[in-house]
Amino acid sequence: MITSKTFAVTRRSLLRSGLAAAAASGALMSGLRGALADDTLAEVKKRGELVIATEMQFPPFDISDNGTYKGVDRDLIDAVGKEMGVTVKYLDLPWTSILPGLEAKKFDLCIAPVTITKERMKRYLFTVPIADATAALMKRADDKSIMKPEDIAGKTVGGQKGTSQLAQLKEFATKLPKPVEIKEYVDNNQSYADLAAGRIDASVNSFPNLAYAAAQRSDTFAMVLPPFGAPTYFSWVGRLDDKSLVDAVNAAIVKTENDGTMAKIQKTWFGQTMDLPQTVPEPKI
Amino acid sequence: MRPEIILHSFGYLIQAAGVTVAVSLAGIAVGFILGASVCMARLSGNAMLARAGAVYVSIFRGVPLLVQLLFIYYFLGKFGLEVPALVAAVGGLGLSSGAYQSEILRGALNAVPRGQSEAATALGYRRADIWRRILLPQALRLSVPPFINEFILLLKASSLVSVVGIAELTRASMNIASSTYHPLEAYVGGGLLYLAINLCFAGLGTLAERRLGVGRPA
């Protein structure tokens, strides 16, 4: 039920109990909330500041470089803020805290990249896609035995628990002639560490995340091309009742795509440009 | 192992270590005030107060600090109580530590033989003087080693305050691990700083013990 960010079983169960508690208290408070019915977009404009949260441990989207926030999301949200005429305040929260925080209105928008899925669309309002999230594989640079995705048959692959990319890998593995042993990790960084150490043969994640990791440590890692998953996308998410805010953010994102800002950001972080749908696509997963 | 990763991020780690120390010191101070009050309530002889103190200890010692922090920061907001991140962090650490500290104090006070206050009463000391001159000096001395222990535990537990968005030492190490793809170096750097901080405070504790004559007959 989570994004393709950080979803350990512990984090997920915590989150789930958190959401249950939030739902329970939400039910208690719904009368009061309805009465207040504040418009987040109007509030953001009034205070001149858009408060966003993400986990700054998801390169190349969210990076904390010695305390300075960088990455695709940073560049894009800055452009969006400029378009909306507000400054942007960034919060760095562990994934566990982001969705409860969104519901508790601790910030206006979650800009941690979330893969669009049918299940998640029931709970959150997705923006238009900000990047490709298609599942892909990464191997050790010196491993000649994996040259295409199908070569993982009979091997061990690691990925982050609860991610849609890991779910797609499991699905993909059922079609292979030999079973794939799948190891689930609390976060992707541990999967990469075990790949480097030789405990697993490949790591699964979204294409942009892996391409960046492979470029950063090209001595250790290499991509397995092409991506094996169905085309999926990352979006940001807002609260279900914040349609006006998400609409304004969408308009700003589409503008960055049309005026070349998005292409510049993509060139910086992915080394190439890619076209994105300008509406929220119907999820295939 | 590439030590230059640690060196490159050293300033960031030191800054985060400063946050860890500051939040922990504030937490232990709040905890001491709460702990002393709860301990007084439990020893007051008033059944209601004693009961309330016992309930406090059960709750804040029994519920994981992580859950307390999430509750204070996220769920109080649902009831209209807006708690800033720093207040939630220090408050959570303080509330939890208060439960432990009250037990440290209670244990230390109970360790002073009853006969002493009975003798003092027989000699005509006023109640306030019994506390000030006989019970507290001995109890505080006895409680120095467990207090140092509690502080070191709290300092390490403070890694949990990252869930409310405070960039302390563990969080900074994780950020470095993910941005550099060198987790080993990042965690070794963070771990060494924790060790250095705790050795400093343990050293201060030893000094305090020596000065107060802990371990020597009173």
Tell if the CB–CB gap between A66 and B8 is shorter than 8 Å: yes
Measuring CA to CA, which residue among B81, B166, B77 is closest to residue A103?
A: B77
**CB of A249 within 8 A of CB of A239?**
no
Question: Which segments within chain A are labelled E, that is strand?
Answer: 49-54, 57-58, 62-65, 68-70, 87-92, 109-115, 124-126, 131-132, 135-140, 156-160, 181-185, 202-206, 221-224, 233-239
Q: Which of A235-244, B74-83, B107-116 has the lowest mean pLDDT?
A: B74-83
Q: Tell me the mean pLDDT in the region B128-137.
A: 91
**Which chain A residues have a beta carbon less than 8 Å from that of B171?**
92, 94
CA atoms within 13 Å, Cβ hemisphere of A186: 9
On the question of pLDDT at B31 being above 90, the answer is yes
Q: Tell me the mean pLDDT in the region B62-85.
A: 88
Q: Tell me the mean pLDDT in the region B133-162.
A: 93
Tell if the CB–CB gap between B78 and A25 is shorter than 8 Å: yes
Calpha distance A41→A109 (Å, rounded): 11
B60-81 burial, b at 16+ Cβ within 10 Å, e below that, comes to beeeebbebbbebbbbebbeee
Instruction: Judge whether B84 lies within some domain.
Output: yes
Q: What is the pLDDT of residue B182?
A: 87
Give the other-Cβ count within 10 Å of A216's Cβ: 16
On the question of pLDDT at B215 being above 70, the answer is no
Instruction: Judge whether B218 lies within some domain.
Output: no
Tell if the CB–CB gap between A104 and B11 is shorter than 8 Å: no
**Which chain A residues have a beta carbon less than 8 Å from that of B8?**
66
Task: Looking at the complex, report in whole angstroms how far the Cα of residue B47 sits from the nearest Cα belonging to chain A.
Answer: 34
Tell if the CB–CB gap between B175 and A21 is shorter than 8 Å: no
**Which chain B residues have a beta carbon less than 8 Å from that of A15?**
none
Using CA atoms, how far residue A15 sits from A19, A100, B18, B171, in Å, is 6, 7, 29, 19
More confident position, B104 or A272: B104
Which residues in chain A are classed under CATH 3.40.190.10? Answer: 9-132+233-270, 135-224
Task: Looking at the complex, report in whole angstroms how far the Cα of residue A113 sits from the nearest Cα belonging to chain B.
Answer: 16
**Which chain A residues have a beta carbon less than 8 Å from that of B162?**
94
CATH of the domain at B87: 1.10.3720.10
Q: What is the ipTM of this complex?
A: 0.75
Give the other-Cβ count within 10 Å of B11's Cβ: 11
Instruction: Judge whether B60 lies within some domain.
Output: yes
> For B174-208, how does the pLDDT look when each residue is reduced to its tens digit (9 = 90+)?
999 988 888 889 999 999 999 999 999 999 999 98
Q: What is the pLDDT of residue A168?
A: 92
Q: So what's the architecture of A9-132+233-270 in CATH?
A: 3-Layer(aba) Sandwich (3.40)
Mean pLDDT for chain B?
92
Tell if the CB–CB gap between B74 and A94 is shorter than 8 Å: no
| Block residue for tokens 């946050």 | B19
Instruction: Judge whether B27 lies within some domain.
Output: yes
Q: DSSP assignment, residue A231?
A: P
Q: What is the pLDDT of residue B218?
A: 52
Tell if the CB–CB gap between A93 and B174 is shorter than 8 Å: no
Q: What is the pLDDT of residue A29?
A: 43
Q: Which of A75-79, B81-85, B213-217 has the highest mean pLDDT?
A: A75-79
pTM: 0.79
Q: Which two tokens stand for residue B44?
A: 């007051």
Q: What is the pLDDT of residue A35?
A: 37
Task: Tell which of B72, B78, B171 to mutate to test the A interface (max A CBs under 10 Å).
Answer: B78
Task: Looking at the complex, report in whole angstroms how far the Cα of residue B46 sits from the nearest Cα belonging to chain A.
Answer: 35
Q: Tell me the mean pLDDT in the region B93-121.
A: 95
Instruction: Judge whether B26 lies within some domain.
Output: yes
Task: Tell which of B14, B86, B170, B175 to mutate to test the A interface (max A CBs under 10 Å).
Answer: B175
Q: Tell me the mean pLDDT in the region B75-95.
A: 89
As a three-state string, the secondary structure of A117-182 is CHHHHCCEEECCCCEECCEEEEEECCCCCCCCHHHHCCCEEEEECCCHHHHHHHHHHCCCCCCCEE
Q: Domain A135-224 has what CATH class?
A: alpha beta
| SS3 of residue A209 by DSSP | helix
Split into its structural domains, chain B has a count of 1
Measuring CA to CA, which residue among A153, A121, A25 is closest to residue B80?
A: A25
Q: In a structure prediction context, what are the per-residue pLDDT tens digits for chain A, which is 285 residues long?
A: 444 443 334 444 444 444 444 444 444 444 344 334 468 999 999 999 999 999 999 999 999 998 899 999 999 999 999 999 999 999 999 887 888 889 888 999 999 999 888 888 999 999 999 999 999 999 999 999 999 999 999 999 999 988 889 999 999 999 999 999 999 998 888 899 999 999 999 999 999 999 999 998 899 999 999 999 888 899 999 999 999 999 999 999 999 999 999 999 999 998 888 899 999 988 877
Measuring CA to CA, which residue among A76, A19, A83, A21 is closest to residue A52?
A: A76
On the question of pLDDT at B92 being above 60, the answer is yes
The residue segments making up the domain with residue B174 are 3-212
Instruction: Judge whether B217 lies within some domain.
Output: no
Instruction: Judge whether B111 lies within some domain.
Output: yes
Residues of A with CB under 8 A from a CB of B: 14, 18, 21-22, 25-26, 29, 53, 56-59, 63-67, 91-94, 96-97, 100-101, 103-106, 187, 189-190, 192-193, 213, 216-217
